[in-house]
A = this chain, B = another copy of it.
Amino acid sequence: MNNLVAFFTFTLLVSLSDQAIELDFCVGDTTLPRGPKGFACKDPANVTTDDFVFTGFRHESFTANLFRSNVTLGFVDNFPALNGLGISMARLDFAVGGVIPVHSHRTSEVIIVTRGSIIAGFIDATNNAFYRRLEVGDVMIFPQTMLHFQINVGRTPATAIVSLNGANPAVQFTTTSLFAGNLPAHIAQQITLLSQDEVMRMKRLFGTA
């Protein structure tokens, strides 16, 4: 037998007694319970190149909605190879006049415009808004947790790719958090100072009045 092979297979031998689990990657096994840091790892013996490739951004994926925009997620739930690796992507599609409403998440985000022209911005904790028109190829950073938004201000549809430094960022949309769920109207009013009428108008818009 070739001596070199002997040398370099010692790792394999070790791993055989450890069920061949390697942590160069930990493709999430979404059939096992999730932990605070992600999913348990799929058996590496069953991992193939397909696990590491995500094709969900090939096409514009558009649903008519009030905001005239769409977010396609490449987060760990859809792309389990991201599990434990601390990074993810999403594709943003905007109809003309489309908007990604104000939201936040527990990671920082970089955006790059790949079609059209948008205004993107964030607001910091001193109520200072930083916003700007971005053209194709332009990049902007939205720091961790800060409220941010994007608006298609061009005459054509727009597309942008964002990357976030977490495998499963929470995307919390402010408007739907307040009006589209089970938060009672009187609480929504008290914690925002919005008028009762406006709160009820918003809740009717989301079918929760």
B112/A161 in contact, CB under 8 A:
yes
Residues of B within 8 A of A25 (CB): 124, 143, 146
B11/A171 in contact, CB under 8 A:
yes
A119-169 contacts to B, CB under 8 A, are 119, 121-132, 134-147, 149, 151, 161, 163-165, 168
B22/A126 in contact, CB under 8 A:
yes
Q: Which residue of B lies closest to A172 (CB)?
A: B125
A180/B144 in contact, CB under 8 A:
no
B87/A168 in contact, CB under 8 A:
no
Number of interface residues of A (CB under 8 A): 142
B11/A125 in contact, CB under 8 A:
yes
A4/B206 in contact, CB under 8 A:
yes
Contact pick for A77, options B21, B86, B191, CB 8 Å: B21
Q: Which residue of B lies closest to A145 (CB)?
A: B106
B183/A129 in contact, CB under 8 A:
yes
B127/A182 in contact, CB under 8 A:
yes
| Interface check A85, CB cutoff 8 A | yes
Residues of B within 8 A of A4 (CB): 65-67, 180, 205-207
A2/B206 in contact, CB under 8 A:
yes
Shortest 9 CB-CB distances between A and B: which pairs?
Answer: A36-B84, A127-B181, A163-B163, A7-B65, A58-B137, A33-B40, A129-B183, A125-B170, A3-B65
| Chain A residues close to B by CB (< 8 Å) | 2-8, 10-12, 14-26, 29-41, 48-50, 52-59, 63-67, 69-71, 73-74, 77-79, 81-89, 99-102, 104-110, 112, 114, 119, 121-132, 134-147, 149, 151, 161, 163-165, 168, 170-178, 180-183, 187, 190-195, 198, 201-202, 205-207
Given contacts A35-B38, A123-B178, 9 further A-B contacts (CB under 8 A): A4-B67, A8-B173, A24-B125, A24-B172, A52-B140, A57-B138, A58-B135, A81-B141, A87-B141
Can you pick out 22 interface pairs between chain A and chain B where the beta carbons lie within 8 Å of each other?
A4-B180, A11-B32, A22-B125, A24-B143, A25-B124, A33-B40, A37-B38, A48-B130, A52-B142, A53-B139, A54-B138, A58-B137, A74-B139, A85-B165, A99-B191, A101-B192, A105-B125, A123-B178, A126-B181, A149-B191, A175-B193, A198-B198
